[in-house]
Amino acid sequence: MSILVVGSVAFDTVATPAGRAENILGGAATYFALAASYFTEVRVVAVVGEDFPARHEDILKNHGVDTRGIERAKGKTFRWGGQYLDNLNEAKTDFTELNVFEKFQPRIPKEYADTKFLFLANIDPTLQTAVRREMNGVRLTGCDTMNFWIQGTPKELAETLKLVNVLLINDTEVKMLAGEKNLLRASRKVLTMGPQALVIKHGEYGATIFFREGAFGIGKHPFRAPALPIEEVKDPTGAGDSFAGGFMGYIASQGEINREVLKRALFYGGVMGSFAVEQFGTERLQNLTREEIDARFQIFRELTHLE
């Protein structure tokens, strides 16, 4: 079944120990859409400026992504610059030029109205809530957020969280959101805020999914997927969004939501995140095959599988 992602499409300028890339295609919705496109039909709602070249949109279209929801506004596309020279696990932002993204008002094309799976990438929670309310026929909503909204707009974020099924954030964000240092207690607290499931991304250590009791009609025991030890992380940008794309894309492809599907989705999330960081920007995500993805899925499975 198709999935809709609402989020940023951007130009990124990135410096890492492996090199530097300027004005490459980036943005949470871009990474998510490319990663999810290997599993299911993807629709995008975003905004770009007049400087956004057709060849970038073609990258998405070539992966079967429906780009009718990408609005072209007067002005320049959102630009972000950052570096990972000291720490591959955390970006140091050099500049943020919101440009057309500053006044982003997501408009859902009427052709998208039947979408059953929704992912609210990391944008203003007020916009996330509005989109979720408009898409009131969805079966499952995933959501991302970040420290900026957790600290800056906690009330608005609380409203959003009441409307989402799965929240995907990292260790630091879980603890910040719950105001609690212990990860397990923090997770329990976040699960009282609305989501039935919480996916915590641990970077190179994988990810854990925690369930509210009775969520999706399944047990409440957590599940963890490992990450692959990677020889060279060229560019960590987009790893989390690619994870979300693999996770949500696999769920949408299955139609049914049960424990085994969510477990496999967690592995596919890790797989897509691990591919994303192997090249700068979206390069690796542009040139994958489902066979490569499933081969890595097997490696991940073997990594922790006991007979």
Strand partners for 14? 21, 82
Q: Which CB sits closer to a copy of itself, 194 or 222?
A: 222
Q: Which CB sits closer to a copy of itself, 196 or 208?
A: 208
The first and second tokens of residue 211, run together, are 């369930």
In the complex, the residues that contact a copy of itself under the rule CB under 8 A are 182-185, 187, 202, 204-206, 208, 210, 221-226, 229-233, 260, 263-264, 267, 299, 301-307
33 neighbors 299 (Cβ within 8 angstroms): no
The first and second tokens of residue 58, run together, are 């073609």
Minimum Å gap between C-beta 161 and a copy of itself is 21
Minimum Å gap between C-beta 216 and a copy of itself is 17
Minimum Å gap between C-beta 271 and a copy of itself is 13
Dihedral angle of Cα 133, 196, 223, 148, to the nearest 10 degrees:
60
116 by Cβ neighbours in 10 Å (0-12 / 13-18 / 19+) ranks as: middle
Q: Which CB sits closer to a copy of itself, 163 or 233?
A: 233
Write the DSSP symbol of residue 194. Answer: S
Cα separation, 65 vs 282, in Å, equals: 14
Q: Which CB sits closer to a copy of itself, 129 or 208?
A: 208
Write the DSSP symbol of residue 114. Answer: T
Neighbours of 305 (CB within 10 A): 8
32 neighbors 244 (Cβ within 8 angstroms): yes
Minimum Å gap between C-beta 27 and a copy of itself is 27
Q: Which CB sits closer to a copy of itself, 4 or 174?
A: 174
Angle (CA) 240 232 199, round 5°? 20
DSSP secondary structure letters along 40-108? S-EEEEEEE-TT--HHHHHHHHTTT-EEEEEEE-SSPPPEEEEE-SS-TTSPEEEEEE-GGGGG-----
Q: Which CB sits closer to a copy of itself, 81 or 206?
A: 206
Q: Which CB sits closer to a copy of itself, 141 or 187?
A: 187
Minimum Å gap between C-beta 301 and a copy of itself is 5
Minimum Å gap between C-beta 233 and a copy of itself is 8
Write the DSSP symbol of residue 7. Answer: -
Q: Which CB sits closer to a copy of itself, 213 or 260?
A: 260
Minimum Å gap between C-beta 274 and a copy of itself is 12
Minimum Å gap between C-beta 229 and a copy of itself is 4
